[in-house]
Amino acid sequence: MQSIRNIAIIAHVDHGKTTLVDKIIHVSKIFRENQQFDDLILDNNDLERERGITILSKNVSVRYKDTKINIIDTPGHADFGGEVERVLKMADGVILLVDAFEGPMPQTRFVLGKALSLGLTPIVVVNKVDKENCRPDEVHEAVFDLMFNLDATEEQLGFQTLYGSAKQNWMGPDWKNPTDSILPLLDAILEHIPAPKIEEGSLQLQITSLDYSSFVGRIAIGRVKRGSIRENAQLSLCKAEGLIKKVKVKELHVFEGLGKIKAEEVTAGDICAVTGIEDFEIGDTLADLEKPEALPRISIDEPTMNMLFTINNSPFFGKEGKFVTSRHLRDRLMKETEKNLALRVEPTDNEDKFLVYGRGILHLSVLIETMRREGYELQVGQPQVIYKTIDGVRHEPIETLVVDVPETTSGKVIELATQRKGELLVMEPKGDLQHLEFKIPSRGLIGLRNNVLTATQGEAIMNHRFSAYEPFKGAIPGRINGSLISMEGGPCTAYAIDKLQDRGNFFVDPGEELYGGQVIGEHNRDNDIVINVQKGKKLTNMRASGSDDNTRIAPAKKFSLEEAMEYIQKDEYLEITPKNIRMRKIYLDENERNRKAKEHQAV
């Protein structure tokens, strides 16, 4: 029987996790000499490459000294907690990767806490020791303190530490003496990560992930906990609420290198992909036909935020997207819930609208961005946090916010956070930056990033993670400025924008096609105003001397998807199409808007 190690790699966003996996793949000679490949081999979808983050967990296996090492690449962001929680079930140990300057970050804490509570053995890798002003020894102590605070066991606190630079392709026990390869890390995995515990008994395999093939349909992926699974075997599928179905395995595959190879039998401890099983969900258990025993289902942290998703009903509806009806929208959202465990979709009393619950703005924005790239048109409302009533008291989600900022602008950041009910917990120097930690309501974070980046000239580094539900903290001031709204449809003119620049900042460029009711800028004051940006200059046959200078227009302010989601108000929608993101009022007609506003005030 072959020797196996199952490890998950956990790290904060941009600490070099995917680069490290690249180097392990290279050193294990998976590729033929003449084969071409890119960097960041595992971040293979466009969205991951553009954002530089891992969103979906992936499996890869390498062979070293007659041992098969299954490596599971996990997302580093707490918003993808649903991914993290299920894939850690497949591992026996974790490699915790931390940056030699930044040290353990809030997202690291979230994933590491999950790993330690599952009893996984950690190996700590302090990466990027080639950076200037790195502080590997302090970072090592910070990791120890973090594990101690997360209630790690004695064995877990005796972790092995390696230092190195994944980019420069070396790892070793001493950061001052670089080695010449990454092999010391693979040796440490064989020595310190335990082989899978093999339990006696009939088959148990929990489905923790899924894949899809247009040839064979849905593919179940999981780790064989005990027993063995064979091709063409008749098995029981243990579903939620004690339901048991009879199923038949068509084919088995194990992970080899970057792909999968066919196997006749897979024994306990290995990770495999099973085809031929219909109607399964993540968390179901494949078990013995005669005496099925189910494993406990995967528990996922509750969503903390929801958004209204609805069909696009703007005047530009259907111009750019292929999928525009409520049926398309419903089917796509339901399909997403099959594999995105932390996502929930609920219908509303209107068949065109759906409430989508997620773990945070990033979690929801990745879903929206994926859908628009697939050709969907939709509209979303302002993100709302989810309140809970505990013992008759209204509770709201509270997050830990960490900001690293130059000392000169730290006062502005503290002021912005405290305005939104943030409490300053820690303030300490970190290199030439000031390290700030706050406890802040989730709703206080909506729109905060924009303001902080503006106040610090873009130099602040912000991270946050969900902490707990606590009693409601009171009202938080929202956006102070009103909106500039287009009066009618048609292309806007440079002349009109030039004449109206003293009213506020514009989000649109001259010549852009608009419709009535579209939000095209931010007003200087706190009220909304409707403006006509379509009117051109009255032309005469007289040439005026000196007054015919070209218009000088400030550049339009452009928003990313997350920024736009955080910017919109309660009475606004975000219209999302494959080519554009537009802000608009829910009621495009001005009279209708005024009537609804009066009704709202009366209530």
How high is the pLDDT of residue 184? 84
For residue 172, pLDDT over 50 is answered with yes
How high is the pLDDT of residue 54? 45
For residue 576, pLDDT over 90 is answered with yes
Backbone angles phi and psi of 420, in degrees to 5: -100, 35
How high is the pLDDT of residue 506? 92
For residue 143, pLDDT over 90 is answered with no
Mean pLDDT in residue range 462-475: 84
How high is the pLDDT of residue 311? 93
Mean pLDDT in residue range 254-277: 83
DSSP 560: -
For residue 427, pLDDT over 70 is answered with yes
Mean pLDDT in residue range 334-350: 83
Nearest 10 degrees: Cα torsion 32, 209, 442, 504 = 60
Least confident segment among 52-61, 215-224, 247-256, 346-355: 52-61
Sign of CA dihedral 453, 456, 458, 463: negative
Mean pLDDT in residue range 99-125: 79
For residue 578, pLDDT over 80 is answered with yes
Of the chain, the percentage scoring pLDDT greater than 70 comes to 88
How high is the pLDDT of residue 21? 77
Buried b (16+ CB within 10 A) or exposed e, 72-108: bbbbbbbbbbbbbbbbbbbbbbbbbbbbbbbbbbbbb
- pLDDT tier for residue 125 given thresholds of 50, 70 and 90: confident
Least confident segment among 373-377, 457-461, 471-475: 457-461
Summarize pLDDT for 229-239 with one digit per residue, the tens.
888 888 888 88
Mean pLDDT in residue range 573-581: 92
- pLDDT tier for residue 462 given thresholds of 50, 70 and 90: confident
Contact 81, 362 (CB under 8 A): no
Summarize pLDDT for 478-488 with one digit per residue, the tens.
778 889 999 98
For residue 479, CA distances in Å to 420, 440, 444, 465, 482 come to 11, 17, 11, 23, 8
How high is the pLDDT of residue 75? 64
How high is the pLDDT of residue 204? 85
For residue 354, pLDDT over 90 is answered with yes
How high is the pLDDT of residue 309? 93
Summarize pLDDT for 505-551 with one digit per residue, the tens.
999 999 899 999 999 999 998 888 999 988 877 776 665 555 445 66
For residue 46, pLDDT over 80 is answered with no
Based on DSSP, count helices (H) and strands (E) in the chain, helices before strands: 15, 35
How high is the pLDDT of residue 56? 47
How high is the pLDDT of residue 328? 92
Of the chain, the percentage scoring pLDDT greater than 90 comes to 13
How high is the pLDDT of residue 294? 83
- Both tokens assigned to 230: 């064979």
Mean pLDDT in residue range 140-148: 86
- pLDDT tier for residue 210 given thresholds of 50, 70 and 90: confident
For residue 437, pLDDT over 80 is answered with yes
How high is the pLDDT of residue 83? 59
For residue 190, pLDDT over 90 is answered with no
Distance from the first to the final alpha carbon of the chain: 72
Summarize pLDDT for 9-43 with one digit per residue, the tens.
887 666 676 777 777 777 765 433 334 444 444 44
- pLDDT tier for residue 188 given thresholds of 50, 70 and 90: confident
Any residues with CB less than 8 A from the CB of 216 and at least 6 apart, and which?
Answer: 250, 251, 275, 276
